[in-house]
Amino acid sequence: MRILLAVEPADFRKGIDGLARICRKELEQAPFSGTLFVFRNRSAKALKLLTCDGQGFWLCQKRLSQGRFMWWPQTGEEGVYRVDPHQLHLLLWNGDPSIAQTAPIWRPVESTG
C-alpha cells in the first residue's frame, strides 16, 4: 500500500470531497487509487487519513488530547512524502519515523537446505 503524507497543512473543515480535491489538484495524485493519504492540520494537533477501498472512501481522524505531532516532513516530491506502514504506525503514536531504527521492509529469505 502506498502511504503519502501531504507536506502542507490542510484545512480540517474539509471532509472527504475537499480532501479528495486536494489530492487531485494540489498533490496531483488520484484519490481513487487505493493510496492512503495523511493530512495534518496547521496547529499539528490532528491528522486525517483518507483512502478509497473500491466501494467508497474512508476518512479517519486522530486528535491529540495534549501536545502536538512533533515530526512532519518539510519537503517532498510534488508536495507529498512517502512513508512505509511501520513509519505511519510510529507517526500515529507521535514518534519520529525518520530516526526510528527498524528492520527493513523486505529482505531475501535464505535457503536452509
Q: Which residue has the cell 479528495?
A: 20
Residue 100 falls within a domain, yes or no?
A: no
The pLDDT of residue 93 is: 92
Tell me if the pTM is above 0.75. yes
Residue 35 near residue 4, CB atoms below 8 Å: yes
Residue 102 falls within a domain, yes or no?
A: no
Residue 107 falls within a domain, yes or no?
A: no
Domain that holds residue 78: 3-92
Residue 82 near residue 57, CB atoms below 8 Å: no
The pLDDT of residue 23 is: 97
Q: Which residues sit opposite 13 in a β-bridge?
A: none
Q: How many domains does the chain have?
A: 1
Percentage with pLDDT > 70 across the chain? 92
Residue 53 near residue 42, CB atoms below 8 Å: no
> Which strands make up the sheet holding 80-83, listed edge to edge?
57-63, 46-52, 36-40, 3-6, 80-83
26-54 tens-digit pLDDT: 999 999 999 999 999 999 999 999 999 99
6 has pLDDT over 80: yes
Q: Compute the radius of gyration of the chain from its Cα atoms.
A: 15
Residue 14 falls within a domain, yes or no?
A: yes
Residue 98 falls within a domain, yes or no?
A: no
Residue 113 falls within a domain, yes or no?
A: no
Residue 18 falls within a domain, yes or no?
A: yes
Q: Which residue has the cell 502542507?
A: 8
